[in-house]
Each structure stands twice: as structure tokens, then as C-alpha cells.
Structure 1
Amino acid sequence: MATTMDRRRLLSTAVLGGAGIAGATALGSLAPEAAFAAEPVKIEPGAPDPNFAEGRVTSITGSVVLLAGSDGALHRIQVTNGTSIWKFQPTTFDRLEKGDGMYVRGVRLPDGTLAADSLWANIVNLTAHIASVGRNVLHLDHHGKRLIGHVVPGTTAAVYNGTPAISDVSLLKVGGHVQVIGAWHPDTNEISIATVYAAN
């Protein structure tokens, strides 16, 4: 694992136009679960993590993304040729859109810009109960709100009782409690399911 100084040097080089930078996946996992993992950063209790940003995209200009954070902060994100991007699956910068929700991890530059090493678009991590099961769809109850979870053949994985992930979701049961990691369809109550964790 690269040290924080290695990441800062690599990402700074990318921002300044350096060629041949290693992909950010060499610096950390792009798996959707990694978006919610806390990095070992020494910060004061209650202070924001300087190497993390979240919010909705308000504009994309060149390789700079502006995010309006849920806390009211405005974040300037520099995407580089070393940034790894996830939007339900690993993807490219041109797939990002205004209105997408994002989690970003990277390195804060002196001007306050966050140079992104990993960026997750529209990612959700929620717990729910299965209200009903249809063909390639789970109707979920999340704190009293109904969500539609789309099972994507060939991509969606299920983990039962901590066993290795498999593509078979047929063991999911109505009334079952699940944790779902997936991608939100902005401004809807629908998500595409990347991984569903169930205790059967």
C-alpha cells in the first residue's frame, strides 16, 4: 500500500500533467465497499476528513468536478489520469453527469482542491427488509420507504451468512433483513444492486 506521501506525489504529478501515473487502484481498492471504509487519517475528533468529500455534482468543467456537499460545503475535485472511477462498475470519466451523487477519496492539494484517487458515483449502502421478490427485482423497505432494487444479471452478487459472494440471489427471502451496496438512480427510489448481504 502506498504511503500518504507517495499518494500525494503521484496525484500531484498527475494534476500537473505528468504522464504514466499508476492507476489509483494501485493506491487502494475501488470495490464499492471501500467507499465506506475509514482510512487511517489522524484528525481531531469531530473534524472532517480532509482527504474525503461527498455531495452531488453541480458542474463538470474539463477534468474538474464541483460537488455540493450535504453539509453545504462546495468541493472542487480534480480528476486525473490516475483516478479510478466506479459507477455501478469500474468506468471512465465521461460517464459522470451533473446530478450524480459522489463519494471521493484522494489527497488535498495546497489550494484546497481534492485530487481524486478513487471516486464512486451514486453509491449507496443501506439496510432494508425484503418486501417482495420479482424477476430481477427486489422490493425493499428502508426505514418505511419503499425502494426498488434491480438485480443485474452477471453483475449482482449475494453473500449469505458471510460466505463467498455468488451470483445466485434465489435464496433471498421475503421478510429477510439485508444490507445492500449498489448505485442509486438519481432522483428516483430505484437502485441497481452490486452486492446484497443476507443472513439466512
Structure 2
Amino acid sequence: MDPLGRRRFLTSAVLGTTAAGVVGASALGSFAPEAAASPRPALDVGAGELDPNFVEGRIIGITKGLLLVTSSDRSMHRIHLTGATSVWKLRPTTSDAATVGDGLYARGVRMPDGTLAADAVWLNIVNLQVHITSIGRSVLHLDHRGDRIVGHVVAGTTAAVYNSTPAVSDLSLLQVGKHAQVVGAWRPDTNEVDLATVYAAA
């Protein structure tokens, strides 16, 4: 979808004037968790400038599908969630999953009033390079640059990818002392993460 068409699509979704609400944002770009920290490059953004169509921060208020977000640079943003917005919080979910205090990455299109019409939102997502320090029942103890992280295995959700092979639910090949990459959902204001995917060598 070209940028102009994408803007019209999201504007219609915000205004509620078309059937856009039944179409997921994955039609507009990758919704994979790994895409959260890799927004599509904007052709009209200069080197070193921030992409105006990508927001990171924490939710400080929610009103009728409008998120009020404070970014790490203390700037404020208003983000529209519509039926056209794809939402990830450990797994694909709905906008009702967003709560005050959640961390957030959002990708979308700026509206004339300065708000962001989101086509994809990732809540509390983390993508960490770690070492596995111990393995318990339904939990992985991890070290991330000297910080201890508790990774919770979520039945029916947590999967492992060994040597770039398809994801499986079997975590038995994970080894203490080995390096891994984990994608998951942070439990705000803790050192705990619900694990979505663990990437490791078998």
C-alpha cells in the first residue's frame, strides 16, 4: 500500500467512516514482534531524525480508544487505537489489553491534529540477548548484561527456535550457560518477562 493510500485507510479507520475496522494492520506491514524495534524507514526523514510515525513510551492514560503516552524523551503523544490496529501483548490480542503503565511501541500515520493513527502496537515487548543461568519448572533464570531476569514459560504460548528451525514448544534443548535471545512481554516495574520465543543453538 502506498503512503497516501495508507494515510487514507487509517484516517477512515479513525473517523469510523469505512469498513477499515475489519482489516488488520498486518496488511500494511510486518506485525511480527521483531518488527517492533525496526520501523520501516521513512523516505522523508533525514539522517539522525526521529520517524514521526513511530512512538515509544509508557501509557499514562486511556480514553475511548485514545492512548496518552509519555516517551523516554518526555515528549507526549496521543495514539488512536481502532478496529484496524493490530495489537501484540505476548501474543496477538485486542486493544482492550492495553492498560495504564504498559510500555509501548506504536507504528502508524500522523493525523493533521498531530495524533498518531496506529496500524500496529506492541505492548511491553522486550527483545533481549541473554545467558541462561538456571532452568526451573516453568521458569528460566537469565542474565542480561549483569542484570538478572526471570523468564516465565507460558503454557500454550512460549516456543523455542533452535538453529533457525521452525518454532517448537519443546524447551528441553535449552542449556544452562548458553547464550540465547528472548522475545517476550515485560511485567511492568519488575525484572520479570513472560516468554514468547526463545532463540538458541541446540
Q: Shorter-chain TM-score category?
A: over 0.9
Tell me, what secondary structure is at the counterpart of 1:10? Answer: helix
| AA matched with 2:14 | V
Within 5 Å, give how 1:43-82 maps onto structure 2: 43-82=45-84
1:115, distance to aligned residue in structure 2 (A): 0.3
1:165 equivalent in alignment to 2:164: no
Gaps of 5+ in 2: none
1:171, distance to aligned residue in structure 2 (A): 0.4
| AA matched with 1:39 | R
Q: In structure 2, how many angstroms separate the alpha carbons of the residues matched to 1:61 and 1:38?
A: 26
Tell me, what secondary structure is at the counterpart of 2:19? Answer: coil
Q: In structure 2, how many angstroms separate the alpha carbons of the residues matched to 1:82 and 1:149?
A: 31
- Match for residue 4 of structure 2? 5
| AA matched with 1:193 | L
Q: In structure 1, how many angstroms separate the alpha carbons of the residues matched to 2:17 and 2:170?
A: 44
1:62, distance to aligned residue in structure 2 (A): 1.0
Runs of 4+ in 1 over 3 A off after TM superposition: none
Q: In structure 2, how many angstroms separate the alpha carbons of the residues matched to 1:168 and 1:54?
A: 33
Q: In structure 1, how many angstroms separate the alpha carbons of the residues matched to 2:47 and 2:36?
A: 20
Residue number among 131, 134, 139 corresponding to 1:132 in the alignment: 134
Deviations 1:36-63 (A, max 9, x none): 2230312111100111001000100111
CA contact (8 A) 2:39 2:107 kept: no
- After TM superposition, the score normalised by the length of structure 2 is 0.95
Tell me, what secondary structure is at the counterpart of 1:149? Answer: strand
- Match for residue 177 of structure 1? 179
- Match for residue 125 of structure 2? 123
| AA matched with 2:97 | R
1:41 equivalent in alignment to 2:14: no
1:184, distance to aligned residue in structure 2 (A): 0.3
1:20, distance to aligned residue in structure 2 (A): 1.2
Tell me, what secondary structure is at the counterpart of 1:147? Answer: strand
Within 5 Å, give how 1:184-199 maps onto structure 2: 184-199=186-201
* Identity rate, percent: 60
Q: In structure 2, how many angstroms separate the alpha carbons of the residues matched to 1:190 and 1:31?
A: 22
Tell me, what secondary structure is at the counterpart of 1:154? Answer: coil
Q: In structure 1, how many angstroms separate the alpha carbons of the residues matched to 2:17 and 2:180?
A: 44
1:76, distance to aligned residue in structure 2 (A): 0.8
Tell me which moved more, 171-180 or 159-168.
159-168
| AA matched with 1:24 | A
- Match for residue 32 of structure 1? 33
Tell me which moved more, 170-179 or 13-22.
13-22
CA contact (8 A) 2:39 2:54 kept: no
Alignment RMSD (CA, Å):
1.1
